Amino acid sequence: MRVGVIGGGQLGRMLAWAGLPLGMDFSFIDPSPGAPAGELGRLIVAPFEDRTAMFDFAQNVDVVTYEFENVSAPLLREVAAARPVMPSPEVLEVSQDRLSEKRLFRTLGIPTTRHVALDCEEELPTAIEKTGLPAILKTRRLGYDGRGQVPVYEYGDALTAFRTLAGRTGGLILEGRVVFEREISIVACRDQGGAVVFYPPGENVHQDGILRSSYAPFRGEALVQHAQDYALRILEHFDYVGVLAVEFFVADGALIANEMAPRVHNSGHWSIEASI
């Protein structure tokens, strides 16, 4: 099978490491000529928004996937008309917007944080009443590794944060801050036939919004079952094909969904050496 990966970074490289022994052939598209995954397959050097390059890339593979979320979902829908894109552009689009993601969680009965969408600063007082303080003001789109978010402890903080982040693409969302004991994530895989496999959840440690270490397996049988159930709801909702990671806060003995990633995930790095 010829696999095309959008993105040539560390996750794409590790994905190829896993696939090459299975006889898979890999191609990558990335704007950097030094993309590390390029050593393991064909590399097209082009911006991700270059439609011509993207279609040239897709025409030479059997299936297209991606190693990160900041890819144009509309462009991938066009690509999907010519080649299978897995996971689908639909799940990618939801994961790109924090508000859409939380609405999905709520629809599927998955607990999430208190949150309110914000379009103007006049909405701040009402939003704060709904979420409480402290809270975190976030961009709805293009936020990762702690970027695009500002902690809020009082109204003055919220106003300053709003004026700092206002104008970012996609609007803002205010989330009530969760007092949690730990963070965990689960990585799941679903194939075209609907078969699902879960990796044991790991407990994650972040510094400055960046994942620094994961400890697996997480010991907590009841919470593991809940994590699997919640991940399965997402997989079945989208008729999902591929790898999915879901991050949770553990608070008062229960899970609160933080976010999902429709791709291979940093918290699953341990599985390379730990799995056969």
Would you say the pTM of this structure is higher than 0.75? Answer: yes
Q: What is the pLDDT of residue 276?
A: 54
**Gap between the Cα atoms of 162 and 57, Å rounded:** 40
Q: What is the pLDDT of residue 145?
A: 64
Look at residue 194 in the predicted model and tell me its pLDDT: 98
Position 211 scores a pLDDT of 84
As beta bridge partners, residue 196 has 190
26-48 in b/e burial notation, b at 16+ Cβ within 10 A? bbbbbeeeebbbbebbebbbbeb
Q: Which amino acid does the sequence have at 31?
A: P
Cβ pair 223, 252 in contact under 8 A: no
Confidence (pLDDT) at 218: 94
**Nearest to 16, CA basis, from 47, 37, 46:** 37
pLDDT at 142: 80
Set out the domains of the chain in order of their start, with CATH numbers: 2-85 (3.40.50.20), 95-110+179-274 (3.30.470.20), 115-176 (3.30.1490.20)
Backbone angles phi, psi at 275, to 5 degrees: -120, 150
- The tens place of each residue's pLDDT in the chain, 276 residues long, gives 999 999 999 999 999 999 999 999 999 999 999 999 999 999 999 999 999 999 999 999 999 999 999 999 999 999 999 999 999 999 999 999 999 999 999 999 999 999 999 999 999 999 999 999 999 999 999 877 667 899 999 999 999 999 999 877 679 999 999 999 999 999 999 999 999 999 999 999 988 778 889 999 998 999 999 999 999 999 999 999 999 999 999 999 999 999 999 999 999 988 888 765
Separation in Å, CA 24 to CA 19, 195, 253: 5, 20, 42
Task: Specify whether the CB–CB gap between 125 and 133 falls below 8 A.
Answer: no
